[in-house]
Chain A
């Protein structure tokens, strides 16, 4: 048994107290990370129950998309498939993790309404559930990444430590966005639609399917100001054996700090209300 044996719940006691309670929630969720993992694992298993390939179905359709886009668009852009297919493959796989965690973040609290309204489970547990679920899916899609890196010979030049660092930045940033849209969606039911429109637009605006160097230097702001570009670049560039621009790390670190500060404040202020939104 690892449930609390002492529980104290009180009315509002000023902003500082609300932040303390929010931190307490975060700490408790850390202690019960195993529960978040069990729930995430259960989500993945139950979504694909009765199918033979399970989450690999998405991997398969992604693989087909990679081949289709890789050959056709490579031709359109006049880039060799040797360079273009790995680029598109990594782009699609990691961008799916970004948009998946954000889009599913909308359901984080709505889906957990039953548990939140009758247990003292930390709310952050459900945020980790969404993040972990998407990481489990990413684990399946890594098949594509590994296949492409091996086939096109990038595995020798890839900087794995750099990619791991990029993935940490990605999860840190996607985590707060997921929590933010989760709180917002619990309160306002039209947020999921807005979030989906934004992530759809981002898929087009971000160099997932098209080479970033096609943008003329004069219009480089389109990339520099696009957070999704930096999220993707931090993971993709090291795997392709390229260096990540320092300003990308700076951008991601700044975004993580500012984003978590903002979202955590929102969480601290709405924490006791979220269960009533549902």
Chain B
């Protein structure tokens, strides 16, 4: 059976965030609030923030969507919803294809474990079997350029070395849908260059890329479409060539 083509489809996607303040997290205060009839609690209760409202998005293989918008405009929320971590409050998200989210390079990194152990852990989380990880281990180790340091605990690494490891491990999984938050500028100039090459390859291999970034040049480099988010409201998806008009609007 042939797998259906890679696609992302969001219909009327609305996502609200309940914000649980410190007060709302205490059971005693919760009970106290109930007993006084909720009057006092109104300012302490969970306030809802609408992070995304009524967003529609259709992407198919070959689409590389750039997300632009101010801090807090909903870019990361959208990526997390696409990764399957956040459930929509209204509407739906439907995705065909393996999803790989490079939102946080530190995902599943344990500082006291060795580099090899961390690669294994990260691979397991991404859905690889122990055997598949072992098959790729040489390639990942090679790419990270860390050599003998991979047998040392990650806490002994410099920040740049940690980033190299995380990046090498995170990008070792093939995906049809690649979600990235900000551009992951890691390592020294040498590593930047090979990281760039690897990402281009990943982007080519991935059917769909969704990339959130503030760096306009970067978006021009990697994306062919762009969407602007403003306070949870999305602009229509437009061609990257019209980015300037979109930003001016």
Contact = CB atoms under 8 A, between A and B. Distances in A.
A276 B113 contact: no
Interface stretch (B65-73, B120-128, B191-199, B224-232): B120-128
B108 interface: yes
Interface string B83-94: 111111111111
Given A3-B126, A120-B85, A114 B106 contact: yes
A216 interface: no
Contacts, number: 124
A188 B126 CA distance: 30
* Chain A: interface size category: 35 or more
Contact of B27 (A8, A9, A34, A188): A188
B83 A119 contact: yes
Interface string A261-278: 000000000011101110
B20 A277 contact: yes
Contacts of A8: 92-95
A109 to B, nearest CB: 13
A9 B92 contact: yes
B141 to A, nearest CB: 19
Contacts of B26: 188-190
Interface in A1-54: 1-3, 5-12, 32, 34-35, 38-39, 42, 45-46, 49
Contacts of B14: 11
B182 interface: no
A115 interface: yes
Contacts of A6: 4, 94-96
Contact of B93 (A7, A34, A194, A272): A7
A53 B84 CA distance: 40
B183 interface: no
A243 B48 CA distance: 56
Nearest to B127: A3
Contact of A42 (B83, B98, B121, B126): B121
A56 interface: no
Interface of A: 1-3, 5-12, 32, 34-35, 38-39, 42, 45-46, 49, 114-121, 187-191, 194, 271-273, 275-277
